[in-house]
Chains A and B, each alone.
Chain A
Amino acid sequence: MSEIKKFMFVNRKAPYGTIYALESLEVVLITAAFDQDVSLVFLDDGVFQLKKGQQTKGIEIKNFSPTYRALEGYDVEKLYVMKESMEARGLTEDDLLVPVTVLTGAEMGALMDEQDVVLSF
């Protein structure tokens, strides 16, 4: 594992309705231990994972949204959100709980092409 590879995690599902978002986050935290180049992208309903103000008491599921703010401490600093996905959901960057880079679909596609490994959730 001496060679650094570019890993991209593609998040396309809303939190809580399915387990994908939480599973992805856990794999990202584990991957971060291996000193690889990690990018997280959020598109389609995946952008909902980063919505501020999640309150899960009423559905009795752990609120894992604060963990996205821990990613910086894990040296995972490349977070990208797709512009069209965000706009289609009535969200702006101010609605998100971490700083992100907003990319258009075309820019997102180009970034995806540069990766060594792409994992979809």
Chain B
Amino acid sequence: MATIEVGGKSYETDEEGYLVNLGEWDMDVANYIAKTESIDMTEQHWEVINFLREYFEEYQIAPAVRVLTKAIGKKLGPEKGTSEYLYALYPYGPGKQACKIAGLPKPTGCV
């Protein structure tokens, strides 16, 4: 267990830096985690984060990358539903980096 301190608020994380309590997530901690992953958050980045949070709300899991890619294509347009697009935004993997920024657990089966 570890904690992140942002703006006087503290957030509990696991040993890999994923938030323990999804309910604690907010934009401040998302921006902070993004910075530690060397990602400058743009509108396109947020679009993926919001999608992931909605997906989790509905299905209670973080999607596998293949499933995320397909679902993004359906929701945000085919030009965005490609691994090139998602890896350009999140070079170390949308599953790993975007889920962490979105405050979700690591996707099932993601190592």
CB contacts under 8 Å to B, within A55-110, are 62-64, 66-67, 69-70, 73-74
Binds B, one of A8-16, A24-32, A43-51, A112-120: A24-32
Q: In the complex, identify which listed stretch (B2-10, B37-45, B55-63, B96-104) lies at the interface while the others stay far away.
A: B55-63
Q: How far is the CA of A87 from the CA of B95 in the complex (A)?
A: 41
Residues of B within 8 A of A64 (CB): 60
CA distance A69 to B58 in the complex (A): 9
Interface residues of B in 87-111 (CB under 8 A from A): 108-109
Other-chain residue from B58, B70, B71, B108 in contact with A29 (beta carbon distance below 8 A): B108
Q: Tell me the total A-B contact number using a CB cutoff of 8 A.
A: 33
How many whole Å from A34's CB to the nearest CB in chain B? Answer: 10
Pick 30 A–B contacts, CB within 8 A, sort by A. A26-B108, A29-B61, A29-B108, A29-B109, A30-B108, A30-B109, A32-B64, A33-B64, A33-B66, A33-B109, A62-B60, A63-B60, A64-B60, A66-B58, A66-B59, A66-B60, A67-B59, A67-B60, A67-B61, A69-B58, A69-B59, A70-B58, A70-B59, A70-B61, A70-B67, A73-B63, A73-B67, A73-B70, A73-B71, A74-B67
Q: How many residues of A contact B (CB 8 A)?
A: 14
Alpha-carbon gap, A70 to B109, bound state (A): 15
Q: Is the interface of A mostly helix, strand, loop or mixed?
A: helix
Which residues on the A side are within 8 Å of B71 (C-beta)? 73
Nearest CB on A from B9, distance (A)? 25
Q: Bound state CA distance, A62 and B59, in angstroms?
A: 12
In the complex, what distance in Å separates the CA atom of A62 from the CA atom of B67?
Answer: 22
Please, which residues of chain B bring their CB within 8 A of the CB of A73? Answer: 63, 67, 70-71
> How far is A63 from B59 in the complex, measured between Cα atoms in Å?
10
Tell me how far the C-beta of B77 lies from the nearest C-beta in chain A, rounded to whole angstroms: 17
Report chain A residues within 8 Å CB of B61: 29, 67, 70
